[in-house]
A and B are shown apart, each in its own frame.
Chain A
Amino acid sequence: SQKIEQNSEALNIQEGKTATLTCNYTNYSPAYLQWYRQDPGRGPVFLLLIRENEKEKRKERLKVTFDTTLKQSLFHITASQPADSATYLCAPSGPGNNRKLIWGLGTSLAVNP
Chain B
Amino acid sequence: DAGVIQSPRHEVTEMGQEVTLRCKPISGHDYLFWYRQTMMRGLELLIYFNNNVPIDDSGMPEDRFSAKMPNASFSTLKIQPSEPRDSAVYFCASSLPRSQETQYFGPGTRLLVL
Interface, chain A (partner B; CB < 8 A): 32, 34, 41-46, 49, 89, 93, 98-101, 103-106
Decide: A46 and B48 in contact? CB cutoff 8 A: no
Instruction: Pick from A34, A46, A89, A93: contact of B43, CB below 8 A.
Output: A89
Query: Can you give 5 A-B contacts (C-beta < 8 A)?
Result: A34-B102, A43-B91, A44-B105, A98-B56, A101-B101
Cα-based distance from A98 to B91 in the complex (angstroms): 19
Q: Contacts of A99 on B, CB cut-off 8 Å?
A: 31, 33, 48, 50, 55, 95, 101
Nearest-neighbour CB distance to chain B for A89, whole angstroms, equals 7
Cα-based distance from A46 to B95 in the complex (angstroms): 11
Who on chain A is nearest to B104 by CB?
A46
* B70 at interface, CB cutoff 8 A: no
* B61 at interface, CB cutoff 8 A: no
B-side interface size class: 20 to 34
Nearest-neighbour CB distance to chain B for A9, whole angstroms, equals 15
Decide: B107 and A42 in contact? CB cutoff 8 A: yes
Cα-based distance from A46 to B45 in the complex (angstroms): 16
For chain B, what secondary structure do more than half of its interface residues adopt (helix, strand, loop), or is it mixed?
A: strand
Per-position binary interface string of chain B over residues 90-114, scored 1 when its CB falls under 8 Å from any chain A CB and 0 otherwise: 0101010000111111111000000
Who on chain B is nearest to A47 by CB?
B102
Q: Contacts of B43 on A, CB cut-off 8 Å?
A: 44, 89, 103
Nearest-neighbour CB distance to chain A for B95, whole angstroms, equals 7
Decide: A98 and B42 in contact? CB cutoff 8 A: no
Cα-based distance from A99 to B103 in the complex (angstroms): 10
Nearest-neighbour CB distance to chain A for B35, whole angstroms, equals 8
Q: Are A101 and B103 also in contact (CB < 8 A) when A42-B108, A43-B91, A43-B108 are?
A: yes
Closest 8 CB pairs of A and B: A43-B105, A103-B43, A105-B42, A46-B102, A44-B105, A43-B91, A43-B108, A103-B42
Nearest-neighbour CB distance to chain B for A12, whole angstroms, equals 20
Q: Contacts of B107 on A, CB cut-off 8 Å?
A: 41-43
